[in-house]
């Protein structure tokens, strides 16, 4: 079974998102668990979460991914912003723990001139505060395009965070096809080579989820502008090779292309029918 889904616009209940995913021919989804720009967490309704869990079991959903808010920067120069990141992640993880088997994905952050090593240390320190023994959700570091002072544009940087964090063995990675291509990894031309490099540096066992996006910009551009599947520099054939790659079997594949739920539904159906050919 291929787990295909998309980032859903949230601001509605969890059960409703499950229904929306089903209507799109999806069997996984990604969502924010709070306003992407807002610092305030929404109170989770236990009955709503229970209904989603039931729907997911009934329809054989793969793991779903909660995405951290974009404003989170655990390696900011400003201690207040680092504190806010820790508080948001701790609150979000409490909520996501109520959906067993789900993932929580975050952008490692931007070191804003402090340097990669200091940034990695600050990220690892935050993770060690919030990924406490009672937490059940696996936290994922996302591969980034390496825009500005963003950490995570190189596999080595994610490896460094995993090594620095005492909770490192419990963490995973989410690979974003647009970001790695923009980061200089030739996912379109040499998927096997990129996955071999990922395996050598991070370990494929750590890879828990994949964001499938085309890119508006060429390999190594460090831009991070997503394109619709087939309308970018990666191309639909290369995206299909990612989804069908045996080393990635069983992972949730999530669209974050610039369209709405209806557009994502069309992309999912098109990808599913291409995979059957
Ligand atoms: Fe992301
Ligand atoms: Fe992404
Ligand atoms: Zn992106």
215-254 per-position pLDDT tens digit: 999 999 999 999 999 999 999 999 999 999 999 999 999 9
Ligand closest to the CA atom of residue 104: 1
| Cα(227) to centroid(ligand 3), Å | 10
| Cα(107) to centroid(ligand 3), Å | 9
The model's pLDDT over 28-56, given as tens digits with 9 standing for 90+, comes to 999 999 876 766 776 789 999 999 999 99
| Cα(179) to centroid(ligand 1), Å | 9
Give the Cα separation of 166 and 132 in Å (integer).
10
| Cα(181) to centroid(ligand 2), Å | 12
Report whether pLDDT(133) > 80.
yes
Q: Which residues 6+ apart lie within 8 Å of 149 measured at CB?
A: 110, 111, 112, 113, 119
Tokens describing residue 169: 């063995």
Ligand closest to the CA atom of residue 107: 1
The model's pLDDT over 151-188, given as tens digits with 9 standing for 90+, comes to 999 999 999 999 999 999 999 999 999 999 999 999 99
| Cα(223) to centroid(ligand 3), Å | 9
Mean pLDDT, residues 97-124 taken together:
98
| Cα(106) to centroid(ligand 2), Å | 9
The model's pLDDT over 180-221, given as tens digits with 9 standing for 90+, comes to 999 999 999 999 999 999 999 999 999 999 999 999 999 999
Mean of the per-residue pLDDT values of the chain: 96
pLDDT at 9: 81
- 3-class DSSP state for residue 7? strand
| Cα(105) to centroid(ligand 1), Å | 7
| Cα(96) to centroid(ligand 3), Å | 22
Which of 85, 75, 109 is CA-nearest to residue 34? Answer: 85
Ligand closest to the CA atom of residue 176: 2
């Amino acid at each position: 079974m291929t787990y295909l889904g998309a980032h859903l616009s949230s601001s509605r209940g969890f059960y409703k998102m499950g229904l929306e995913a089903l209507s799109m021919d999806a069997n996984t989804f990604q969502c924010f668990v709070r306003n992407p720009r807002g610092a305030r967490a929404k109170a989770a309704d236990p009955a709503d979460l229970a209904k989603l869990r039931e729907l997911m079991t009934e329809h054989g959903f793969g793991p779903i991914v909660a995405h951290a808010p974009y404003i989170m920067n655990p390696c900011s120069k400003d201690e207040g912003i680092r504190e806010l990141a820790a508080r948001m992640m701790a609150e979000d993880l409490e909520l996501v723990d109520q959906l067993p088997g789900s993932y929580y994905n975050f952008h490692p952050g931007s070191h804003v001139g402090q340097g990669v090593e200091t940034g990695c240390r600050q990220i690892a320190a935050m993770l060690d505060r919030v990924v406490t023994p009672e937490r059940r959700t696996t936290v994922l570091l996302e591969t980034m395009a390496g825009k500005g002072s963003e950490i995570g544009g190189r596999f080595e940087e994610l490896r460094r965070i995993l090594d620095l964090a005492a909770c490192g063995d419990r963490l995973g990675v989410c690979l974003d096809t647009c970001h790695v291509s923009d980061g200089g990894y030739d996912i379109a031309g040499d998927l096997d080579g990129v996955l071999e490099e990922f395996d050598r540096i991070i370990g494929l066992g750590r890879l828990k989820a994949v964001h499938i996006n085309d890119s508006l910009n060429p390999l190594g551009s460090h831009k991070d502008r997503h394109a619709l599947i087939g309308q970018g520099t990666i191309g639909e054939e290369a995206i299909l090779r990612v989804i069908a790659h045996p080393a990635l079997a069983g992972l949730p594949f999530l669209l974050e292309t610039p369209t709405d739920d209806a557009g994502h539904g069309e992309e999912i159906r098109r990808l599913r029918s291409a995979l059957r050919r």
